[in-house]
Amino acid sequence: MADREAVQQVLRAQKIELPTWAFGNTGTRFKVFAQPGVPRTPQEKIDDAAQVHKFTGVAPSAAVHIPWDRVDDYAGLAAYAEQAGIAIGTVNANVFQDDDYRLGSVTNPDPGIRAKALGHLIECIDIMDATGSRDLKLWFADGTNYPGQDDIRARQDRLAEALAATYQRLAPSQRMLLEYKLFEPAFYTTDVPDWGTSLLHCVALGPQAAVVVDTGHHAPGVNIEFIVAVLLRAGRLGGFDFNSRFYADDDLMVGAADPFQLFRILREVVAADALRPEAGIAFMLDQCHNIEPKIPAQIRSVMNVQEATAKALLVDAPALAAAQRAGDVLGAHAVLMDAYNTDVRPLLAQLRQDMGLDPDPVAAYHRSGYAEKIVAGRVGGTPASWGS
């Protein structure tokens, strides 16, 4: 068993980024269920994210989504976040919610629409300059619904062209993270459907481009930890969008559907010594809370990542390596399962106490009165929701 003191050190330094969109109203294409007390402005989303950090101590930044978090003064938004105790993290571009993008954004057959989409990507880098953000995260809804609708290779060329122009605009300290998703909203072809396509584009662009693994963006049964291991080996894993899924891009709480998968993924990160901040892996949540209260759901998600990380850190690496060398299949598997089956909740409770936090963040949040305060205070205005 790994040294608990060392495990605590690593867990104390872990940083998990929250998505501002998790705090707004969301739903499915069938219904968005409004919740009372939902933020109405980007600043109120920051306030809610800051609560998650206050009670967990490991979520010091919030990713923004543009235009959902559009403000006049982004440096001002960064200062607001700092006052609230957190920072603005990754800037997510959004080129999927404009009528112009019916046939795609950066891969659209119309050069005028492609130029508009590229303009937005560049605008997102301007925002990063103002907020001090390191990462631009790109996810494209681009694709086609019918065979013959457009030229598959031409769309790849258009994508490469837009990515290159965006990459050019990055400062040396900034990065571009390219996300993939196998399908939806396009159903016949998707222009960045898998890690291979994303990786090919990133390699062509240069060292400041890396792949984002959104855990909800794979077909059922895909071995995500294998993808993670391969990308880590290539030095091209830029980060994670954590969430969990039963069927498709469900965006449920990370570690809820398959905590063992989350452990296996984080175990690959630990094995590559990539938890260290210098390894440059962004640990982000990309979730929506459609039926459950949002702030406690984010707290719970952060805790789920911590629990899986703790278990991954507890793997007895020398014992595992010895069993692997000896060809001891069952012994090696047992080493891994011993770590997974360890109850790490007492260790994490202790860590929180050592950090001056309540050992039970969810209970502490409920006791704090914040939920009642926002329900009473956030009256009038338009609640933030998916798409606004």
For ligand RM4, the binding residues (CB under 6 A) are 65, 92, 139, 179, 181, 214, 241, 249, 286
**Least spacing, CB of residue 33 vs Mn ion, in Å:** 22
Count of residues engaged in binding Mn ion, rule: CB under 5 A: 3
**Least spacing, CB of residue 92 vs ligand RM4, in Å:** 5
48 binds, among ligand RM4, Mn ion, none (CB under 5 to 8 A by kind): none
Nearer to ligand RM4, 58 or 192 (CB): 192
Determine the residue with CB nearest ligand RM4.
Answer: 139
Nearer to Mn ion, 191 or 214 (CB): 214
387, amino acid identity: G
Report H helices in 57-151: 74-84, 111-131
Among the candidate windows 28-36, 104-112, 286-294, 341-349, which touches Mn ion by CB under 5 A?
A: 286-294
92 binds, among ligand RM4, Mn ion, none (CB under 5 to 8 A by kind): ligand RM4
Among the candidate windows 56-64, 142-150, 211-219, 221-229, which touches Mn ion by CB under 5 A?
A: 211-219
140, amino acid identity: F
The sign of the torsion formed by the CA atoms of 229, 230, 234, 238 equals: negative
Nearest residue to 49 (alpha-carbon basis) of 236, 277, 245, 299:
299
249 binds, among Mn ion, ligand RM4, none (CB under 5 to 8 A by kind): ligand RM4
67-71 own/partner pairs: CB under 8 Å, 24+ apart: 67/94, 68/20, 68/21, 68/24, 68/94, 68/384, 68/387, 68/388, 69/20, 69/42, 69/45, 70/42, 71/42
What does the alpha-carbon distance between residue 58 and residue 273 come to, in Å, rounded to a whole number? 19
What does the alpha-carbon distance between residue 176 and residue 193 come to, in Å, rounded to a whole number? 17
**Least spacing, CB of residue 56 vs ligand RM4, in Å:** 22
Nearer to Mn ion, 150 or 241 (CB): 241
Tokens of 119: 């303009």
Could you give the string, one character per residue 216-245, with x where binding to Mn ion holds by CB under 5 A and - elsewhere? -------------------------x----
What does 290-347 look like in DSSP terms, one character per residue?
SSS-HHHHHHHHHHHHHHHHHHHHTS-HHHHHHHHHTT-HHHHHHHHHHHHTS--HHH
**Least spacing, CB of residue 26 vs ligand RM4, in Å:** 9
Nearer to ligand RM4, 8 or 244 (CB): 244
**Least spacing, CB of residue 63 vs Mn ion, in Å:** 10
Q: Omega of the bond prior to 207 within 30 degrees of 0, cis?
A: no
Contact residues for Mn ion (CB under 5 A)?
A: 214, 241, 286
